[in-house]
Chain A
Amino acid sequence: NAGVMQNPRHLVRRRGQEARLRCSPMKGHSHVYWYRQLPEEGLKFMVYLQKENIIDESGMPKERFSAEFPKEGPSILRIQQVVRGDSAAYFCASSGEGQGRTEAFFGQGTRLTVV
């Protein structure tokens, strides 16, 4: 039973390119959370999704950032026209429903570097 899988682990993009980060939740989990962590700072909530639906995107910048969690396949966080300030670690977590299954598990993160 694999844990939360994020890929790639490291991603380098030039300014202006697109970055696409993937997160495969744990088996049976239908809730996905994305977080960004800048160097020397805490986790910052970005977006919360349930299957095919964005429930809360209050932490996500309105421009250039988008997220999806399709019925089939991983959740995707997409950053268009990346800038240096997008360089950060992006963590994904998933959780389930029901008694004793609501705790979240994190992936190891994707470290994005914009050059």
Chain B
Amino acid sequence: RKEVEQDPGPFNVPEGATVAFNCTYSNSASQSFFWYRQDCRKEPKLLMSVYSSGNEDGRFTAQLNRASQYISLLIRDSKLSDSATYLCVVNIRRNYQLIWGAGTKLIIKP
């Protein structure tokens, strides 16, 4: 089993819809969690950190479920510009190593 797993997609979603995807992790010693976004042929960029209490940034909401060992990303009122690959990242407490998911591809259609 991979340490961090994501549904590769693609998720094809109409503009304006709400979309959510999860990322599961296997190491209970995971300490920090992040969502990154990668646009075509560019470097990934940090979208948001995921806190225990959950956090929201505009149309984006990230949640952490430690009991079930997954994090989620919810995008409301999706825009065409949200089309990208979303990467889940988990930080291992033991040595600060970052473990990366393979990414979920999101396509927003007009």
Contacts and interface: CB of A to CB of B under 8 A. Distances in A.
Interface of A: 31, 33, 35, 42-43, 45, 48, 50, 55-56, 89, 91, 93, 95-97, 102-109
Given A103-B34, A108-B43, A45 B100 contact: yes
Interface residues of B, number: 24
15 contacts: A31-B96, A42-B85, A42-B105, A43-B87, A48-B97, A55-B95, A89-B41, A91-B43, A97-B96, A102-B31, A102-B32, A103-B46, A103-B89, A107-B43, A108-B43
Given A31-B97, A97-B96, 8 more contacts: A33-B100, A91-B44, A93-B44, A102-B32, A104-B46, A105-B46, A106-B45, A108-B43
Contacts of B96: 31, 95-97, 102
